[in-house]
Homo-oligomer: A and B are copies of this chain.
Amino acid sequence: MTSFDTALPSIRQVQTLIKEASSVQLKLVTGDLLAGKINWQDQNCLSLVDENKQQILVWRHAIAYLKLKN
């Protein structure tokens, strides 16, 4: 279970990525590599908007890592 304390660095970092509309890459446990901008997060999911403006609801338990898109 995710600890969704907004004082945690991991939660704040994602919050900063949302505010700055940063382009990110999400690697999933399925091996999928998703790219887009995060528009919100909650305890269960991150909401990503891809280059085609389509929203993707990504479950936290399926995320391996996140980095800025080069």
The reply to whether A3 and B43 contact each other, CB–CB distance below 8 Å, is yes
Find chain B residues with CB under 8 A from A29 CB.
Answer: 29-30, 62, 64
Q: Is B13 a contact partner of A44 (Cβ separation < 8 A)?
A: no
Apart from A10-B42, A29-B62, A55-B68, list 7 A-B contacts with CB within 8 A: A3-B43, A8-B42, A8-B43, A10-B44, A28-B30, A54-B68, A57-B67
Complex interface residues of chain A between 16 and 65 (CB less than 8 A to chain B): 27-32, 34, 40, 42-45, 47, 54-65
Min CB distance A70 to B, Å, is 8
Tell me which of A34, A45, A55 has the highest count of chain B C-beta atoms within 10 A of its own C-beta. Answer: A45
User: What 1/0 mask marks residues of chain A from 3 to 18 whose CB sits below 8 Å from any chain B CB?
Assistant: 1110011110110000
